[in-house]
């Protein structure tokens, strides 16, 4: 009887864990979808789109209309970003450098900066 109860408890716990994993996956997918829509809307409404990869990476392909300001040069080229309230979308290869670029810009007073993630995440 003990082994039957233990087996039943394990099945219940496994079912609950699977359900929780599914809810987390749906939540993350929805959040990512909403973020993508926000990025798409910002770009379509004229946000400054900045590729923070190296010039070599930029020349191998980039989002139409994007400018290239490598992460290492952002603080030296703040004047290129213009109005501190203007929408800005930064992106890189994976989202790591653009995350750092967003933090730099926000620390310098830019108020409407979004991390677009990696090049593959950006609108085509």
Among 61, 108, 73, 114, which Cα is nearest to 91's? 114
- Residue 64 CB contacts under 8 Å (≥ 6 apart), including other chains: none
**Residues involved in catalysis:** 92
- Can you name the residues that pair with 47 across neighbouring β-strands? none
Do 93 and 119 meet the contact criterion of CB atoms below 8 Å apart? yes
Q: Residue 99, SS3?
A: helix
Task: Give the residue among 84, 79, 89 at the shortest CA–CA distance from 111.
Answer: 84
């Amino acid at each position: 009887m003990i082994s039957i109860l233990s087996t039943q408890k394990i099945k219940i716990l496994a079912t609950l864990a699977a359900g929780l994993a599914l809810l987390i996956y749906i939540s993350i997918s929805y959040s990512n979808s909403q973020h993508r829509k926000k990025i798409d809307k910002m770009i379509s409404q004229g946000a400054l789109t900045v590729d923070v990869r190296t010039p070599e990476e930029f020349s191998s392909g980039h989002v139409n209309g994007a400018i290239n300001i490598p992460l290492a040069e952002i603080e030296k080229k703040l004047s290129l970003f213009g109005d501190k309230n203007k929408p800005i979308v930064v992106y890189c290869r994976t989202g790591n450098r653009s995350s750092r670029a967003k933090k730099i810009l926000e620390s310098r007073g830019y108020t409407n900066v979004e991390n677009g993630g990696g090049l593959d995440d950006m609108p085509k």
